[in-house]
Amino acid sequence: MKNIVSSIVLIGLVMSVQTGYSQKKKNKNREENIPVTTDNSSQRDSSFKEYSNVITSLAISDEGIFTVHKVESEYYYEIPFAQFGNDMLWVTRISKIPDGFGGGYVNAGSKTNEQVVQWSRVNNAILLRSISYSNVANDSLPIHHSIIANNNHPIIESFKIEAFNPDSSAVVISVNNLFLADNRAISGVSESMRQQYKVKALEKNRSFINRMASYPENVEVRHEMTYSASEPPSNSKTGTISLEVSQSMYLLPETPMQPRLYDKRVGWFTLSQVDYGSDALKADKKTYIRRWRLEPKDPEAYARGELVEPVKPIIYYLDPATPDRWKPFFIQGVEDWQAAFEVAGFKNAIIAKEAPTPEEDPNWSPEDARFSTIRYIATTTRNAMGPSVSDPRSGEIIESDIVWYHNHIRSYRNRYLLETGAANPLARTLNTPEAEIGEMMRMVIAHEVGHALGLPHNMKASYSYPTDSLRSATFTQKWGLAASIMDYTRYNYVAQPGDEGVRWVRMLGPYDKYAINWGYRVISGVESAEDEKVTLNKWISDKAGDARYLFGSYNAYDPSSQTESVGNDPIKASSYGLSNLKIVAKNLKEWTSTPGEAYDDLDELYGELLSVWSRYAGHVNMLIGGIYQEYKTTDQSGVVYSHIEKNQQQEALKFINKNVFVTPDWLLQDDILQNIEASGALAKVRSLQSGQLSSLLQEGKMKRMIENEALNGNEAYTLSSMLSELRKGIWSELSDTKNIDAFRRNLQREHVIRLEKLMINDAKNRSDISALVRVELKEIQKAARSAAHRYGSDLMKAHLQDIDALVDSILDED
């Protein structure tokens, strides 16, 4: 009977710190001006019951950090006064959910709230308060009093004192109302879900506490909550939503871990505080990385450079629901990170284990805050996640639950076939060999473990390898597909038929080892986070100029920080990718057919093939109007932002005109289309091309091109040149009266419509965009009028006359 207690939202920790994090002591962190009475005589007035009259002989008790009691239908906490004022992390999770709840991305184990709390006493009331560390100052400084005055701790719940224990060292409170009332601070139903499902009220007669247990460092509670709802996600006739909520209250370390200052040149999840006690002439915002507390068992050996085991390793338990055949791959995915921690000086720093059986430990639970788990979720959702819970005082990660959704296997099976099938015989089936799919799952788990260790996505990692190197078996088997597994470089779609022995699936790379060393290596001889800065900066400087150690988040303007890309030449990589995709398209029906089955798999894979094609096009599209971003500090040479070279942008537009805006006959396979739909090919292609056209004619992209021309003159690829070359490509048939097929007519209409939208959006600003778009519309109109009379086809004439009239209406309205 071991589980979790109460929880609250981390996303808005709104409080103050009672003392500086590095000097914090237990008593100093307690709520100021709160009388904590321990005098026996003052506690024994007539308003309090005798302990034996509250905690009767019928009590079922469990001792731990608190003693928890069940007396018939009443639940009590017996809280020692020694725990008052201590920081406790309260986490709320959903342990059981109804079908369809949350739209597929909420599951058993999903965290809904997280917050630091403290217990305190005011007169005859026990208070549970929410504590924030957003604003701090050392308690020895005068400004500390202002921090307290301007960051009052909100009260979550107030409790009546029921009794004191026999030696007056602890207070007894009833917690039924905390868990059986609709307390938004610890609810499993978010405000958006309440609106979505039209939740009316909590049904108390159908809500109850299932379990309550106490451990040396945490208290665990599970309670069933039933809500009346007009539009529940499933079982609509019941008009209710029932879910089991898991609450964990975890004692945070008395002395917080020494934090490590964040540097944006190395990617980390972070937390921030405003230090009002800083000597800086401002409210000094300090950002710290989130990481596990790893301390060497033998500090002297560690200082000598020997590999040393940590005092407390990071341990992940496999969900008992994990299918046996996947367990070895999940374990490997976790322990792949051991090599990275060895670079940081730690041996066996991260370990994966199977969860104990009920016979081995009947009290083990994945919701227990002491355990980090890999949850295996039975759902149709196609995803995986690696969230974690951290101490807001220091960034110390306390625990994490990695989530694998069962149907994610399907995503990787499909993408493996589509992106590698042309050159990889093992991928040409829906029944991917177990070793192959297992390797993919291993690397997904490794990716999610990276998140749980504190690493965000590094989308620049794929750009660090030469594109042609990905066709080399020697290179890919040693270095993988990208410098980091934290990129979205899932498969090697560059390798061509005949490229033997190449690696097809991603793996950990040099950046991962570098980042783990940067974040986890213990720096000796320092007393504060500021003292570490010189060493941390040197570690970055030592790697300067090596693309493998760059970090970049996804953004809408940097072609070197894109998702799903491979290699440092998007044009070459997408050319290779499209070449492979054409081979796959020819064979897709054969590779997805199962005797006796309908064409559902073909339909699904064909839809995903179109998405892959669109991604390849998008990587090239991003070059036009693109800007490279490379984080730098003032002591480094070079600039942070630099425009893409003119000739590369011109080549990108040539690629798009040649491969994206032409009619994709290779996609229009009769044996596919005639087996999956009665019609729809025109709409599919129009949607794909329209999406790329919209991306190319983004207002932000166009503004960057105008600014580039203003700053760099002839060295810039001008917006007028891009618009002119785009027009010549899309309307190329008009110059020699070639047939304009239905797909191209759709694209030409879409081109005019997109230009019209630019005119409308720019109507107030009247920038160079409006002026250049007007020129383009007139050129299109002129060419359409001139060509209309040369076509013998009534349909061609009608199309061009319609374009003429459409442009007229746009310009008239303008």
639-679 per-position pLDDT tens digit:
999 999 999 999 999 999 999 999 999 999 999 999 999 99
Share of the chain above pLDDT 70, in %: 92
Residue 609, exposed/middle/buried by CB under 10 A (0-12, 13-18, 19+)? buried
Tell me, what's the pLDDT at 105? 67
Average of pLDDT values for 205-231?
A: 90
Average of pLDDT values for 282-301?
A: 92
Cα→Cα distances 279→137, 141, 276, 283, 774, Å: 11, 12, 8, 9, 56
Residue 104 pLDDT greater than 70, yes or no: no
DSSP 296-342: BSSHHHHHTT--B-BSS-EEEEE-TTS-GGGHHHHHHHHHTTHHHHH
Tell me, what's the pLDDT at 397? 95
Domain boundaries, the chain: 51-252, 299-568
Beta partners for 354?
A: 318
Tell me, what's the pLDDT at 107? 67
Quickly state the pLDDT bin for 680 (edges 50, 70, 90).
Answer: very high
CA distance 172 to 165: 7
Amino acid at the residue 83: Q
Q: What is the pTM assigned to this prediction?
A: 0.88
Crossing angle between the packed helical segments 699-712 and 742-761, to the nearest 10 degrees: 70
Judge whether 31 and 274 are in contact, CB under 8 Å.
Answer: no
Q: Which two tokens stand for residue 769?
A: 């965009």
Crossing angle between the packed helical segments 600-621 and 681-696, to the nearest 10 degrees: 20
Tell me, what's the pLDDT at 35? 40
DSSP 569-580: -HHHHHHHHHHH
CA distance 505 to 717: 37
Average of pLDDT values for 740-744?
A: 96
Strands 372-377 and 314-318, by their bridges, are parallel
Judge whether 390 and 353 are in contact, CB under 8 Å.
Answer: no
Phi/psi at 298 (nearest 5 deg)? Answer: -120, 90
Cα→Cα distances 493→418, 485, 499, 564, 625, Å: 9, 16, 12, 10, 25
Quickly state the pLDDT bin for 12 (edges 50, 70, 90).
Answer: very low
CA distance 244 to 223: 6
Q: Which residues contact 56 (CB under 8 A, 6 or more apart)?
A: 71
Quickly state the pLDDT bin for 10 (edges 50, 70, 90).
Answer: very low
Residue 39 pLDDT greater than 70, yes or no: no
Sequence length of the chain is 814
Beta partners for 272?
A: 287
Tell me, what's the pLDDT at 137? 67
Residue 551 pLDDT greater than 90, yes or no: yes
Quickly state the pLDDT bin for 11 (edges 50, 70, 90).
Answer: very low
Quickly state the pLDDT bin for 595 (edges 50, 70, 90).
Answer: very high
Crossing angle between the packed helical segments 719-730 and 646-659, to the nearest 10 degrees: 20
Cα→Cα distances 673→605, 606, 791, Å: 12, 9, 30
Tell me, what's the pLDDT at 281? 66
Strands 284-289 and 170-174, by their bridges, are unpaired
CA distance 89 to 595: 55
> Which tens digit of pLDDT belongs to each residue from 332-352?
999 999 999 999 999 999 999
Quickly state the pLDDT bin for 694 (edges 50, 70, 90).
Answer: very high
Q: Which two tokens stand for residue 785?
A: 């009028």
Residue 279, exposed/middle/buried by CB under 10 A (0-12, 13-18, 19+)? exposed
Crossing angle between the packed helical segments 681-696 and 742-761, to the nearest 10 degrees: 40
Strands 240-251 and 199-202, by their bridges, are unpaired
Residue 21 pLDDT greater than 70, yes or no: no
Tell me, what's the pLDDT at 41? 37
Residue 363 pLDDT greater than 50, yes or no: yes
Residue 376 pLDDT greater than 80, yes or no: yes
Residue 442: closest CA among 417, 412, 487? 412
> Which tens digit of pLDDT belongs to each residue from 505-539?
999 999 999 999 999 999 998 999 999 999 999 99
> Which tens digit of pLDDT belongs to each residue from 439-472?
999 999 999 999 999 999 999 999 999 999 999 9
Tell me which of 101-105, 450-454, 559-563, 689-693 is least confident: 101-105
Q: Which residues contact 637 (CB under 8 A, 6 or more apart)?
A: none
DSSP letter (8 states) at residue 370: T
Residue 805 pLDDT greater than 80, yes or no: yes
CA distance 414 to 83: 53
> Which tens digit of pLDDT belongs to each residue from 23-35?
333 333 344 433 4
The alpha-helical segments, DSSP class H, found in 185-239 are: 191-196
Tell me, what's the pLDDT at 2? 39
Give the mean pLDDT of the chain: 89
> Backbone dihedral region of 651: left (phi > 0), alpha (psi from -120 to 50 degrees) or beta?
alpha
CA distance 543 to 217: 42
Q: Which two tokens stand for residue 34?
A: 């709160």
Strands 67-71 and 170-174, by their bridges, are unpaired
Residue 248 pLDDT greater than 60, yes or no: yes
Residue 45 pLDDT greater than 70, yes or no: no
Q: Which two tokens stand for residue 65?
A: 């950090």
Tell me, what's the pLDDT at 20? 35
CA distance 516 to 522: 11
The alpha-helical segments, DSSP class H, found in 635-741 are: 646-659, 670-676, 681-696, 699-712, 719-730
Q: Which residues contact 379 (CB under 8 A, 6 or more apart)?
A: 104, 107, 405, 406, 407
Q: Which two tokens stand for residue 441?
A: 């799952």
Strands 218-229 and 240-251, by their bridges, are antiparallel
CA distance 405 to 107: 9
CA distance 103 to 107: 10
Tell me which of 183-192, 342-351, 690-699 is least confident: 183-192
CA distance 266 to 456: 10
CA 252 to chain CA centroid, Å, is 25
Beta partners for 93?
A: 111, 246
Q: Where are the beta strands (DSSP E) in 305-365?
A: 314-318, 350-354
Average of pLDDT values for 480-493?
A: 97
